[in-house]
Amino acid sequence: EPEVTQTPSHQVTQMGQEVILRCVPISNHLYFYWYRQILGQKVEFLVSFYNNEISEKSEIFDDQFSVERPDGSNFTLKIRSTKLEDSAMYFCASGDDGSSGANVLTFGAGSRLTVL
Amino acid sequence: AQKVTQAQTEISVVEKEDVTLDCVYETRDTTYYLFWYKQPPSGELVFLIRRNSFDEQNEISGRYSWNFQKSTSSFNFTITASQVVDSAVYFCALSEGDVSGTASKLTFGTGTRLQVTL
């Protein structure tokens, strides 16, 4: 079963530090996403990425956030200067071409970010 | 704007009971897709089902069944003969999309925590 792989599984950082969360999507998928889940809350959309550019982003995804697909396999989320409220589980997801309908997203196991 | 409401925050049942998780959605699109995801204690999100707005047939997969009713904007999920391994948070989600299936973001509900005990 193909899977989405995320690293690290848990990262602790100091406020103001930069963090990069990494994801390896399913190899033949075309759409890539980041979602986040603050502890005990719902899963929220951050950004979608297609054809090497951002296709949609939420109001959460401000200038502190950026995404990149540097080498055709990895998909990264960078937070430039972390804040306490960035503490959350960050999920990467990838989706196929949607030829059979809205693409089903396969989620990674998540990266838990703790900002102190 | 799209919205998903899961009014039940937490449900506790005893093993072998049937349980229904409610999901009500709002959207202005005529083409949309509904999903259920399971989040076990380990934290990952596991896809369970996708439904498009043109297919109101109910679906059964083993002990799981889904009841989609456009008239009430609901997409409820029933687990028959629940088991301890069903304990998890279950999320209903909505995606607005066109007929080409172009990717659209998922809007999740707040989730229902299901606790199944012996």
The pLDDT score that the predictor gives to residue A96 is 77
- Contact B45/A at CB under 8 A: yes
DSSP string covering B62-88? TTEEEEEEGGGTEEEEEESS--GGG-E
Is pLDDT larger for residue B113 or for residue B101? B113
Backbone angles phi, psi at B86, to 5 degrees: -80, -10
- Contact B43/A at CB under 8 A: yes
Residues of chain A with pLDDT under 70: 1-2, 97-102
A·B CB contacts under 8 A: 73
Torsion sign, CA atoms A52, A53, A59, A61: positive
Q: What is the pLDDT of residues B24-65, one digit of tens each?
A: 999 998 888 899 999 998 888 999 998 888 888 888 889 999
How far apart CA A91 and CA B57 sit, in angstroms, is 31
